[in-house]
């Protein structure tokens, strides 16, 4: 990062720069820093020697409409020894959340957001001619690294334009009044201009994209601030990610005073991870039972924390490690994935090309598995070569598949119950049928979304003799 090769990409807060030629391998991030209290964690982040630090919001707790008070609070952070150490270590990119924009849980209703935006820009040393100073909101984006190893950092502004939140009811036993979904189609998180900008950004080529949102995107079960308080906007985000075919997206979020990794597999066309690191000095320090989050991967951590994204570009299949670290810099939570997982269609089972020798044409009066799959509820005679087999643990049912991978959409499974494995099939195992053509008579039925033919009579299945 100290080399001055090629285009200088980022100069924020510190005078440190990153060259366009240098791939990012270590990025740190964090949120929620109460400037009035000690922040020893910044020194620990600096000790990790990240190439870039992403400040995800609640960078200070301003909580005021008095702009002089706000500036004084930023000054307090600027004077913090740990922060100064971090500033000397790497460039810093930032977005804000409610407290640093100016007020707890604030959105477009915060009256001083225009002025607050300029104070934010001053603190993060954003140049006078930068669009970040001119647009409505502090959103920004940068791409680092050479082709094949590009990391795009997108920092959203989820506050400046955000519509009114809806409060629910505080049920008995609840410690807070939860927010509930705002289903008004006009309600927004990003605002139209930022949505258009984001679409343009997602269309730019990059191998990995860190989509930074001050509030959580994936977690949906808690009653605090989250994208799910605006379900239509969250859906719009998922639709945009799908339509732009944006590969390599990992969401980084903060705000929650806890750390966790969430993963949603049905949001876009590949697993969508949301790595939440919150509480540079504001996290709950005591252990408590993990709050409900059906998308959580691993544990919910306690205590102050920061996040690290580490990328190993050295192998043909680069790996991305998502980490949460504690005040000592120790890893408390880690999920490592191949970058290829973050590609549209990565979860769809790849069909192995069929060996031409395994092809078996149904004889007259019989149909193929492909045809049988269109005849749900009908009695059919089907003929095919068995390409894989299986058995339930208790041995009650044997499976004969028309495809090597039983999850293949084109697979037809023949289920042999114990009643069918009598007489000539009494001692039959999977190997008895594997790679042999069979003739099956039975009714096509559905089980767990897949089509099958269940055989309860030994006479309903036979192995076809092949001419040598």
Binding site for Fe ion (CB under 5 A): 58, 97-98, 255
Specify the residue, 58 or 408, whose C-beta has the smaller distance to Fe ion: 58
Specify the residue, 107 or 437, whose C-beta has the smaller distance to Fe ion: 107
Specify the residue, 124 or 433, whose C-beta has the smaller distance to Fe ion: 124
How many of the other CB atoms lie within 10 Å of CB of 331?
11
Cβ 32 to Fe ion shortest distance, Å: 7
The three-class DSSP label of residue 321 is: strand
Cβ 346 to Fe ion shortest distance, Å: 32
Which of these, 267, 157, 132, lies nearest to 215 by C-alpha position?
157
Specify the residue, 106 or 267, whose C-beta has the smaller distance to Fe ion: 106
Cβ 255 to Fe ion shortest distance, Å: 4
Specify the residue, 51 or 216, whose C-beta has the smaller distance to Fe ion: 216
What is the Cα–Cα distance from 167 to 404, expressed in whole angstroms? 52
What is the Cα–Cα distance from 104 to 215, expressed in whole angstroms? 13
Which of these, 30, 61, 23, lies nearest to 45 by C-alpha position?
30
Cβ 280 to Fe ion shortest distance, Å: 12
Contact in structure between 426 and 432 (CB atoms under 8 Å): no
* Backbone φ/ψ region at 257: left (φ over 0), alpha (ψ -120 to 50), beta: left
Cβ 11 to Fe ion shortest distance, Å: 27
Cβ 266 to Fe ion shortest distance, Å: 27
Contact in structure between 309 and 322 (CB atoms under 8 Å): yes
The sheet carrying 151-155 orders its strands as 140-144, 151-155, 208-213, 249-253, 272-276, 259-264, 296-301
What is the Cα–Cα distance from 282 to 285, expressed in whole angstroms? 8
Specify the residue, 59 or 402, whose C-beta has the smaller distance to Fe ion: 59
């Amino acid at each position: 990062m100290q080399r001055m090769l090629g285009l200088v990409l980022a100069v924020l807060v510190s005078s440190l720069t990153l060259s366009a030629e240098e791939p990012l391998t270590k990025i740190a991030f964090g949120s929620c820093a109460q400037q009035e209290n000690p922040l020893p964690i910044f020194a620990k982040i600096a000790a990790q020697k990240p190439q870039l630090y992403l400040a995800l919001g609640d960078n200070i707790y301003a909580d005021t409409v008095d702009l002089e008070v706000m500036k004084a609070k930023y000054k307090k952070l600027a004077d913090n020894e740990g922060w100064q150490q971090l500033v000397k270590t790497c460039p810093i990119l930032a977005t804000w959340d409610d407290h640093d924009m100016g007020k707890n849980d604030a959105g477009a209703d915060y009256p001083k957001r225009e002025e607050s935006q300029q104070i934010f820009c001053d603190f993060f040393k954003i140049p006078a001619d930068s669009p970040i100073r001119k647009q409505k909101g502090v959103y920004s984006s940068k791409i680092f690294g050479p082709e094949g190893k590009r990391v795009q950092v997108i920092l959203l502004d989820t506050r400046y334009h955000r519509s009114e939140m809806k409060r629910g009811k505080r049920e008995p036993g609840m410690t807070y009044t939860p927010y509930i979904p705002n289903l008004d189609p006009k309600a927004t998180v990003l605002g139209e201009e930022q949505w258009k900008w984001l679409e343009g950004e997602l269309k730019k080529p990059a191998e990995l994209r860190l989509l930074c949102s001050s509030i959580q995107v994936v977690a949906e079960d808690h009653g605090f601030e989250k994208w799910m308080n605006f379900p239509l906007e969250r859906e719009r985000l998922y639709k945009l990610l799908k339509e732009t075919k944006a590969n390599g997206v990992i969401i980084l979020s903060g705000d929650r005073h806890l750390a966790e990794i969430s993963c949603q597999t049905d949001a876009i066309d590949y697993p969508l991870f949301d790595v939440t690191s919150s509480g540079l000095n504001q996290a709950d320090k005591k252990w408590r039972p993990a709050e409900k989050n059906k998308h959580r991967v691993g544990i919910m951590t306690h205590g102050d924390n920061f996040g690290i994204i580490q990328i190993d570009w050295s192998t043909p299949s680069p790996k991305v490690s998502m980490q949460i670290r504690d005040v000592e810099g120790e890893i408390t939570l880690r999920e490592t994935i191949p970058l290829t997982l973050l590609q549209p269609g990565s979860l769809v089972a790849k069909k192995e090309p069929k060996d031409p020798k395994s092809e078996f044409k149904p004889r007259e009066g019989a149909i193929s598995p492909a045809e049988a799959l269109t005849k749900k509820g009908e009695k059919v005679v089907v003929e095919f070569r068995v390409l894989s087999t299986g058995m339930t643990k208790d041995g009650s049912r044997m499976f004969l598949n028309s495809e090597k991978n039983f999850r293949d959409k084109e697979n037809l499974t023949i289920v042999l119950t114990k009643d069918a494995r009598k007489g000539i099939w009494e001692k039959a195992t999977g190997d008895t049928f594997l790679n042999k053509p069979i003739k099956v008579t039975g009714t096509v039925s559905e089980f767990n979304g897949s089509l099958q033919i269940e055989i309860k009579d030994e006479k309903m299945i036979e192995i076809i003799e092949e001419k040598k």
